[in-house]
């Protein structure tokens, strides 16, 4: 089967606390959603081990868990009272899940790797997918067959091969319905099939689909599955950045849904849920391209952003803008939050469109780099400038050009079919949240004592001051986003606003928010 490190990662710390069994994935969902299953008390470190370092680590992690449990009931109550939709990204399954062809061959080419991915997908199906698309679980549908097979398999305590195997008994195969690819009997590697210029993981026609659409009379939400329908370049190395949607997926998940709107429906705004970001900061792009040249793609997830594979990005933009003039992307994954505004224009017509990317990440995963770019330091050293591309629709492609090139050689624009300009929306000055009346109830008593102990040092730590934390382009601390709209009137056009709530570093028990405001119209001055 191979060691865990070989299958999942080449670094032991990367697989620390990784889930394996179906029961572990089930239990994690239950523990994350409700305080009911948690123990009332945890043993002390010295009761578990005699190793001094392990004792210290155990006690520290228990403190974090106790803080988590302390407010879990509040999260449970909030989520029980609002409509909830979801879509997976890699960490619902395993880090870097299906990142590139190399990952698929390495992980899905081992029985242990296949089992872990299958367990995770089955748990996702039961706890998230079922609620997203209940129609797939109606009588006689693949979802119902999967649930029946799962019951049989669970009752046999995982020993019923017919319920588990994808091909042993097709009517009840768990692997078949969650979309696990079959494996080559000679090499034991996952079977890849051709889709145009790319390879995709083979899957049974009855496999569940994870993408879905929510529509009203005036808007639509298109939720993309960019993990299981990736296209891996057939003529390049296995580590090459993939298309996040292969040609078949582009048609099924984007083109056909965009074309299915009836004439009576007045779609004003199209929301696209893209789990990984379409556009990233320029400095992040530089890092990704450098790592790609060094063939070290796993440490920074090279290939998860749309703009690393320019052909796929060009196809994504042209597919959207051939059918819609106003698109809002909701994205996450990258551990910082921001708002980007893309103005798009056809070269030889008056058609113009706008795309606004709202990124909210992460609720609980800030790190040293994101803390740095959250501050004024980012704007001082690496400010984001407007970026320009010219592009073509058939075949889809786009090339980035500088503003200077565009100014001195207008023929570049004339020879292209379309062009677009990306700008980063600056965040407004920090505002104190009105949701502060019960803020201390979010902090466990022992944590309050710890915060008070260091409170006197706050004025001396300049990098935690409000002035230094007033960055320009991103919120890099743990945050939660609320999106709202200002409708158009006689004096102004429609506007989208993203408020990002985070704990201030200069006063740890205070919640503040940063507002990003973006027009839902193309920026005419940049397009000219």
pLDDT (tens digit per residue) in 307-317: 999 999 999 99
The rounded mean pLDDT for the chain is 90
- Strand, helix or coil at 212? strand
Predicted confidence at residue 95, as pLDDT, reads 92
pLDDT (tens digit per residue) in 480-508: 999 999 987 877 789 999 999 998 888 77
Structure tokens at 12: 């032991």
Predicted confidence at residue 2, as pLDDT, reads 36
State mean pLDDT over 322-333. 95
Q: How confident is the model at residue 178 (pLDDT cuts 50, 70, 90)?
A: very high
User: What separation in angstroms does the CA of 223 have from each of 135, 270, 330, 415, 456?
Assistant: 16, 11, 9, 34, 47
pLDDT (tens digit per residue) in 142-168: 999 999 999 988 888 877 766 665 444
Long-range contacts of 90-94 (CB under 8 A, 24+ apart): 90/227, 90/304, 92/120, 92/124, 92/128, 93/117, 93/120, 93/121, 93/124, 93/227, 94/8, 94/18, 94/120
Higher pLDDT, 62 or 457: 62
Phi, psi (rounded to 5 degrees) for 501: -95, 135
Q: How confident is the model at residue 171 (pLDDT cuts 50, 70, 90)?
A: very low
User: What separation in angstroms does the CA of 359 have from each of 182, 242, 282?
Assistant: 35, 21, 15
Cα-Cα-Cα-Cα dihedral of 209, 210, 211, 213, to 10°? 90
Say if residue 62's pLDDT is above 60. Answer: yes
Distance CA 243, CA 172 (A): 32
pLDDT (tens digit per residue) in 189-226: 999 999 999 999 999 999 999 999 999 888 999 999 99
Predicted confidence at residue 338, as pLDDT, reads 97
User: What separation in angstroms does the CA of 106 have from each of 186, 190, 233, 317?
Assistant: 16, 9, 17, 32
Predicted confidence at residue 451, as pLDDT, reads 64
pLDDT (tens digit per residue) in 392-419: 999 999 999 998 888 888 888 889 999 9
Q: How many CB atoms lie within 10 A of CB 260?
A: 11
Say if residue 245's pLDDT is above 50. Answer: yes
First to last CA, the chain: 59
Per the listing, tokens 């768990």 go with: 174
Q: How confident is the model at residue 436 (pLDDT cuts 50, 70, 90)?
A: low
User: pTM for this one?
Assistant: 0.92
The backbone region for 301, taken as left when phi is positive above 0, alpha when psi lies in -120 to 50, beta otherwise, is: left
């Amino acid at each position: 089967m191979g060691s865990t490190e070989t299958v999942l990662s080449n670094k032991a710390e990367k697989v620390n606390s990784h889930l394996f069994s179906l029961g572990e994935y089930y239990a994690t969902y239950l523990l994350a959603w409700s305080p009911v299953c948690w123990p009332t008390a945890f043993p002390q470190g010295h009761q578990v081990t005699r190793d001094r370092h392990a004792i210290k680590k155990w006690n520290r992690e228990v403190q974090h868990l106790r803080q988590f449990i302390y407010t879990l009931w509040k999260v449970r109550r909030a989520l029980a009272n609002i409509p909830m939709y979801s879509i997976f990204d890699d960490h619902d399954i395993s880090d870097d899940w299906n990142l590139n062809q190399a990952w698929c061959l390495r992980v899905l080419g081992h029985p242990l790797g296949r089992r872990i991915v299958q367990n995770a997908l089955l748990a996702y199906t039961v706890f998230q997918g079922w609620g997203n698309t209940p129609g797939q679980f109606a009588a006689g549908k693949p979802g119902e067959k999967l649930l029946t097979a799962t019951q049989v398999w669970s009752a046999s305590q995982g020993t019923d091969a017919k319920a588990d195997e994808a091909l042993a008994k097709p009517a009840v195969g768990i692997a078949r319905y969650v979309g696990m690819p079959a494996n080559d009997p000679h090499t034991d590697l996952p079977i890849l099939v051709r889709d145009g210029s790319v390879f995709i993981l083979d899957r049974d026609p009855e496999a569940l689909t994870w993408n879905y659409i929510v529509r009203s009379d005036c808007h639509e939400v298109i939720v993309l599955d960019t993990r299981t329908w990736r296209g891996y370049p057939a003529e390049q190395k296995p580590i090459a950045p993939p298309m996040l949607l292969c040609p078949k997926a582009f048609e099924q998940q984007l083109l056909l849904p965009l074309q299915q709107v009836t004439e009576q429906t007045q779609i004003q705004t199209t929301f696209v849920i893209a789990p990984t970001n379409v556009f990233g900061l320029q400095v992040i792009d530089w890092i990704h391209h450098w790592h790609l040249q060094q063939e070290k793609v796993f440490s920074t997830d090279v290939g998860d952003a749309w703009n690393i594979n320019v052909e796929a990005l060009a196809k994504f933009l042209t597919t959207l803008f051939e059918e819609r003039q106003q698109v809002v992307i909701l994205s996450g994954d990258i551990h910082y939050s921001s708002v980007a505004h893309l103005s798009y224009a056809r070269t030889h017509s008056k058609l113009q469109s706008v795309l606004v990317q709202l990124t909210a990440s992460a609720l609980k995963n800030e790190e040293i780099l994101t803390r740095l770019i959250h501050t004024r330091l980012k704007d001082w050293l690496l400010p984001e400038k407007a970026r320009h591309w010219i592009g073509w629709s058939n075949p889809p492609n786009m090339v980035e050009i500088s503003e200077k090139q565009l100014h001195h050689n207008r023929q570049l624009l004339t020879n292209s079919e379309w062009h677009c300009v990306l700008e980063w929306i600056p965040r407004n000055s920090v505002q104190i949240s009105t949701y502060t009346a019960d803020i201390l109830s979010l902090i466990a008593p022992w944590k309050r004592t710890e915060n008070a102990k260091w409170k006197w040092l706050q004025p001396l730590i300049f990098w935690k001051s409000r002035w230094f934390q007033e960055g320009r382009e991103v919120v890099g601390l743990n945050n939660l986003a609320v999106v709202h709209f200002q409708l158009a009137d006689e004096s102004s056009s429609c506007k989208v606003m993203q408020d990002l709530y985070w704990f201030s570093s200069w006063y740890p028990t205070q919640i503040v928010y940063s507002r990003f405001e973006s027009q839902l119209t193309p920026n005419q001055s940049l397009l000219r």
